[in-house]
Amino acid sequence: MFIVNVEGAIYQNGKWLLIRRSEKEEHAGGLLSLVGGKVEKDGTSSDILEGTLKREIYEEVGIEVSNLRYVNSSFFVTDSGLNVVDIVFLCDHQSGEAYAKCPDEVDDVCWMSTQEILNNAALPIYLKGNIKMADKLITV
């Protein structure tokens, strides 16, 4: 019925980690986004959202994260008509240097400040909204 997708808002040294999604991606190819991916069947598992996010972040950009905190959830429909529930977590960078580890999913990585993201007219409104909400959690 739904695809469940998780994303990580990773903040370090005053900037957020964003990826440029591969042009090969079915949804939002070529756009900047948070790092994440789909929840897959994993038998019986606890912390499935958190485990999926940690795995996806490591697979896509080669870093480890910790201290995941819920930011928000949303629903959208992909260009091909798939229903997606998306959950965003604020994550602490634990170790590693971010790079485009998985070329099938990530073309590039970049770090941008909250203001750079909010002032960039080319970035999707949902990304800006997620960053605004995550930013409020780090400044509390």
Q: What is the mean pLDDT of the chain?
A: 90
CATH 1.20.120.790 at 3-138, yes or no: no
Beta strands 3-12 and 64-77, pairing class: unpaired
What pLDDT does residue 25 have?
Answer: 57
What pLDDT does residue 118 have?
Answer: 97
How large a percentage of the chain has pLDDT more than 90? 71
Closest listed residue to residue 60, CA positions, set 112, 8, 114: 8
Is 20:107 a contact under the CB 8 Å cutoff? yes
| Residue 54 to residue 39: CA distance in whole angstroms | 11
- Out of 7-11, 67-71, 92-96, 104-108, pick the least confident: 104-108
What average pLDDT does range 68-88 have in this prediction?
93
What's at 25, amino acid-wise? E
- Out of 7-16, 34-43, 51-60, pick the least confident: 34-43
Q: Is residue 44's pLDDT more than 90?
A: no
User: Which of the two residues, 44 and 112, has the higher pLDDT score?
Assistant: 112
Q: Is residue 24's pLDDT more than 70?
A: no
pLDDT band with cut points at 50, 70 and 90 for residue 126:
very high
Is 103:6 a contact under the CB 8 Å cutoff? no
Q: List the chain domain ranges.
A: 3-138
The angle subtended at Cα 12 by Cα 8 and Cα 17, nearest 5°, is: 45
What average pLDDT does range 102-106 have in this prediction?
82
What average pLDDT does range 29-51 have in this prediction?
83
| Residue 74 to residue 87: CA distance in whole angstroms | 7
